[in-house]
Chains A and B, each alone.
Chain A
Amino acid sequence: MIFIKKHIPLFICFFVGVLTLGSYYVPNAGSENYIEMMNKWENIVAGFAFLLGLMSLFYSHFHKITRRAPGWGYSLFVYAGFLLVVVPAIVSNGQPMKGPDMTSLGWIYRFVFTSLSGTMFAVLAFYIVSTAYRAFRIKSPQAFVLFAAAFMVILGRVPLGQMMWDGALGWTGYQVTDVIEWLMSVPVVAGRRGIMIGIAIGGIVTALKIIFGIERQYMGKD
């Protein structure tokens, strides 16, 4: 049983991992076909897994409704929303447009789904403001540096800020856009690259741990 549950998955992981790693160095058609095949299989598995996800969604909300769990009324909307999209999709044969006319599916996608997604995305703007307020509170010298840099970047992006800069510091010969460009391309990039290098190295080591079977948490422990 351990052989099936542990050794075979580890071997598959090792074999596929080494093959995929090797394909980066082998440029021929066989290597390309292998990667293409793996991508196709990933899509196929994802397709079936989506059904699994859908079942999980229905199961958990069905339980909430039958148990009258707090907020069970919201679970009804899951089924209502599902039917609201699936029925028009079947009626419209999965097509959002029929010639120049919009089908019922297209109408729902454009006027319901896209609008709701847009609303969620728009909420981000308000959250960014509240986050910025917290981030720019000057509690230490480092926080002051952060605030000054952010203030410069925010102000320099609008005409009013450019006018203020020209009035106060125009005599230096530097434009506020020059300062912003320097900030964005030197200190910001330096910081980002430091984090990116750490992430890349961590990613490589984690991948090796998985390929060589040292990290096995993802398939449950022994």
Chain B
Amino acid sequence: MKRPPIIPLILPFLFLTSISSAAKPSPLPPLTGFTAADMPGDAGGAALLRWNAVGGAAEGATMEVYASDTARPGWVKIAEFPAAERTEKDMDLPFWAWRPAPGRHALAADTSSAFGRPDEAQEIEFKLRLVKGGASVETAPVKVVIGGNWFNVSRFNNLVLMLTIIIVFFWTVSHAKRKGLFIRRIAGLDAIDEAIGRATEMGRPIYYSTGIGPMSLVPTIASTSILGEVARKVAQYDTSLKVPHFDPIVMTVCKEVVKQSYLEMERPDSYRDDINFFVSQDQFSFAASVDAMIHREKPAACFFIGHFMAESLLLAEVGATTGAIQIAGTEQESQLPFFFTSCDYTLIGEELYAAGAYLSKDPMLMSTLKVQDFGKAFVMLAVVTGSVLLAAGAVFGWEPLMRIVGQLFKAY
């Protein structure tokens, strides 16, 4: 029996169906104004996509973003979000780097998770798809070459502030050569002489700890400067100094600093290589060991200056129980209360960084303290001005003013 010819019957049906579906209007408006550009001020791997708002059609719709590396074609969905979101106003960029247009959407499309982030620029194709219910519309693909940039424009405010600080810094340094500078007394630093004198009289050692910070931390560097000055006085009085260390690199630097101080005071014979010694690179092992040494040797003075964490109280309390005169200083504001209560003198905040200059009396170093004062004056002025402007903006509804002030002082 011969089979009935099916294909000739189906083809007209398929043709009619396709015509009817093409003639039926899509419930979604077309996506217009779609552009793609390299994301400004980024490390590479991202593109800035912009497109026109779709109005009321965005309600309940989803926007899908697809990307394809032209070197390895194939579309990958890199983002999906409600179509009404991601307006140009929502972009987290400052006013000097971004001018949002009304009625436009924008997205910083990161492709690094899909295609990695090669060192060289890469050509990527993007397209958008608006999906609502069963219907969808999409844009034509747009190609763009993306790569890393040479300047992060968003950090322009930071750069201006940094350059201003550097200019003020050099101005004060050059000014220092001509004139002297008044520096208020810092009780904690004035007490160093007293502490070393006490140790000399009692014939007991002095303990100095630079904390648990590595050499790359600024407080550790500041602490080595103070150690240098302490070591000079110790060498002068021929007292015993002990510097237990958490970090071997800090120990190596401190050895040089102490050795130099002894040489300057013409007491190389008093210098011993075991003044600085390594204890442990574990926080609590270090604390336990130093506590035990303090407890056994009962030093006349303890210095805890540098980066300290939970061991601050363990060290300072044991030192206090031995009756040692204690001078502490750290940049960790969470540890300062412990030092306040357990130590006789505490260097607060920037006093730690001023100590090296204060003790050395070097005019160049002392002049840099003025930069700190200028910095504090600037911060105070900025806080007052910013608060007034923000309050005025809130009261009078000046939203652009509030945005500008907020972005001016924001770290990007």
Residues of A near any B CB (own CB < 8 A): 21, 24-33, 42, 45-46, 49-54, 56-57, 59-60, 63, 70-71, 74, 116-117, 120-121, 123-124, 127-128, 130-132, 134-135, 192, 194-199, 201-210, 212, 214-215, 217-221
What 1/0 flags go to B344-374 for Cβ under 8 Å of A?
0000111011101000100011001101100
Residues 30-49 of chain B: 1 if any A CB is under 8 Å from the residue's CB, otherwise 0? 00000000000111100000
Whether a CB of chain A sits under 8 angstroms from the CB of B151 is: yes
Contact between B376 and A201, CB atoms less than 8 A apart: yes
Taken together as a complex, chains A and B put the C-alpha atoms of A70 and B225 apart, in Å, by 31
A124 and B314 contact, CB distance less than 8 A? yes
Q: Are B251 and A127 in contact (CB under 8 A)?
A: no
- Give min CB distance, B33 to chain A, whole Å: 28
Known contacts A131-B313, A134-B341, A205-B375; is-contact A192 B333 (Cβ 8 Å): yes
Q: Mark B276-302, 1 if CB is under 8 A from A, else 0.
A: 111101101101100010001000000
Whether A208 contacts B165 by the Cβ 8 Å rule is: yes
Q: Taking the nearest CB of chain B, how far is it from the CB of A49, in angstroms?
A: 4
Scoring A197, A203, A210 by chain B CB atoms within 10 A of each residue's CB, the highest score goes to A203
Could you tell me if A199 and B350 are in contact, using CB atoms closer than 8 angstroms?
A: yes
> Which chain A positions have C-beta within 8 A of B41?
27
Q: Main secondary structure on chain A at its contact with chain B?
A: helix
Q: How far is the CA of A57 from the CA of B218 in the complex (A)?
A: 26
Within residues 291 to 341 of chain B, which ones have a CB less than 8 A from any CB in chain A?
292, 296, 310, 313-314, 317, 331, 333, 336-338, 340-341
Contact B375 A201 (CB under 8 A): yes
In the complex, are the beta carbons of A197 and B376 less than 8 A apart? yes
Complex interface: chain A residues within 8 A of B284 (CB): 116-117, 120-121
What is the CA–CA distance of A217 and B353 in the complex, to the nearest angstrom?
Answer: 13
**Minimum Cβ distance to chain A for residue B43 (Å):** 4
Residue contact A135 to B225, C-beta cutoff 8 Å:
no
How far is the CB of A129 from the nearest CB of chain B, in Å? 11
Closest CB-CB distance, A8 to chain B, in whole Å?
15
State which of B9-17, B21-29, B67-75, B254-262 sits at the interface with chain A. B254-262
Q: How far is the CA of A203 from the CA of B368 in the complex (A)?
A: 12
Contacts of A123 in B (CB 8 A): 314
A-chain residues with CB within 8 Å of residue B218 when the two chains form the complex: 203, 206-207
Q: Is the Cβ of B278 less than 8 Å from the Cβ of A214? A: no
Q: Say whether chain B's binding surface is mostly helix, strand, loop, or mixed.
A: helix
B residues near A, CB below 8 A? Answer: 41-44, 117-119, 147-152, 155, 158-159, 162, 165-166, 169, 173, 214, 216, 218-219, 221-222, 224-225, 228, 245, 247-249, 251-253, 256-257, 259-260, 264, 274, 276-279, 281-282, 284-285, 287-288, 292, 296, 310, 313-314, 317, 331, 333, 336-338, 340-342, 348-350, 352-354, 356, 360, 364-365, 368-369, 371-372, 375-376, 379
Q: Please name 7 further chain A to chain B contacts, defined as beta carbons within 8 Å, in addition to the given A31-B148, A63-B274, A197-B379, sorted by A numbering.
A: A27-B41, A199-B331, A203-B219, A206-B353, A217-B228, A220-B256, A220-B257
Q: Which residue of A lies closest to B342 (CB)?
A: A131
On whether the beta carbons of A208 and B356 are closer than 8 Å, the reply is no
In this complex, which of B117, B119, B162, B221 has the most chain A Cβ atoms within 10 angstroms of its Cβ? B221
| Nearest CB on A from B104, distance (A) | 25
Alpha-carbon distance between A25 and B169 when the two chains are bound, in angstroms: 20
**Which single residue of chain B is at the shortest CB-CB distance from A207?**
B218
- Chain A positions within 8 Å of B353 at CB level: 199, 202-203, 205-206
Least CB distance, A96 to chain B, in whole angstroms:
16
A-B contact pairs, 11 of them (CB 8 A): A30-B148, A31-B148, A46-B247, A116-B284, A127-B314, A132-B341, A199-B331, A215-B365, A218-B224, A221-B228, A221-B264
